[in-house]
Amino acid sequence: MKFQDRAGTWLQWAVTAIEWVVAATLVVLAALATWSILPEFMSIGTPQGTSAYTSILDIALLVFVIAELFKIALAYIRHEGVIPTVMEAALVAVARKVVVLDAHATPSLFLMRAGALGLLLLALSVSWYLLSRANGEFSRVPPHGE
């Protein structure tokens, strides 16, 4: 076996190991984010008002973003198309920010954030549309159970 073949085999093994370490790290991050919801539940009765609920929603949606990133890692490990999964993760991440948008901020800051999120959603929507037009299989991503 040539040195180049051995080096290629070793590098492929190293890349696969790195992919699995990243996937395992995402699982740990999801577990830590889920665990961090508990203190927020304990602070619901305090005078914070609705900010405790917003914080719980923010953390819960963060877990979903991490789950989408894990799906990307698994698709990458399996050498499947990752672009639809990346687009899903981007939509979940932007939706997370829309849901927890602080309505109590100053009007100019609120409008600036809402406008930026609106532009992000528009860019993602146009990208999704163009990708589905360029590749008919793009928009036909099978459900998670298949």
Is 146 within a domain?
A: no
Is 121 within a domain?
A: yes
Is 139 within a domain?
A: no
Is 142 within a domain?
A: no
Is 61 within a domain?
A: yes
Q: Count the domains in the chain.
A: 1
Is 144 within a domain?
A: no
What string of pLDDT tens digits covers the 146 residues of the chain? 687 777 888 888 898 889 889 999 999 999 998 898 887 777 666 656 567 777 888 888 889 889 888 988 888 888 887 888 888 888 888 888 888 887 677 888 888 988 999 999 999 989 888 888 887 766 555 555 54
- How many C-beta atoms surround the C-beta of residue 105 within 10 A? 13
Q: Which domain holds residue 7?
A: 3-134
Is 8 within a domain?
A: yes
